[in-house]
Structure 1
Amino acid sequence: MKVTARAVRSGTWWAIEVPEVPGVFTQAKRLDQVAGVVADAVATMTGADAAAVEVQLVPAMRPEVQHDVDEAIRLRREAEEARASATEQLARAVDDVLREGLTVRDAALLLGISPQRVSQVART
Structure 2
Amino acid sequence: MTARAERGTGWWVVEVPEIEGLLTQAKSLSQVPAMVKDAAALITGEPEESFDVEVVPVIAEDIREHLLAARKLFEEAARAQHSAAEESRLAARELAASGLTVRDVGAVLGVSHQRAHQLVS
Q: TM-score, normalised by structure 2?
A: 0.91
- Name the CA distance, whole Å, in 1 between partners of 2:26 and 2:18: 19
Deviations 1:18-71 (A, max 9, x none): 001000000011111111111111111001121110111111111111111122
Segments of 5+ residues of structure 1 without an aligned counterpart are none
Whether 1:23 and 2:17 are equivalent positions in the alignment is: no
- Name the CA distance, whole Å, in 2 between partners of 1:46 and 1:54: 14
**1:1-124 mapped onto 2 (5 Å cutoff):** 3-123=1-121
* Residue-pair matches, total: 121
Q: Between the two proteins, what is the percent identity of the paired residues? A: 40
Amino acid at match of 2:79: E
Counterpart secondary structure, 1:8: strand
CA RMSD of aligned residues (A): 1.4
- Name the CA distance, whole Å, in 2 between partners of 1:58 and 1:65: 14
Counterpart secondary structure, 1:57: strand
- Name the CA distance, whole Å, in 1 between partners of 2:52 and 2:80: 34
User: Which one has a larger percent strand, Structure 1 or Structure 2?
Assistant: 1
Deviations 1:83-121 (A, max 9, x none): 122112211211111111111232223223232321122
- Name the CA distance, whole Å, in 1 between partners of 2:27 and 2:71: 23
Counterpart secondary structure, 1:80: helix
Moved over 6 A (4+): none
Segments of 5+ residues of structure 2 without an aligned counterpart are none
Counterpart secondary structure, 1:5: strand
- Name the CA distance, whole Å, in 2 between partners of 1:51 and 1:107: 55
- Name the CA distance, whole Å, in 2 between partners of 1:28 and 1:73: 26
Q: TM-score, normalised by structure 1?
A: 0.89
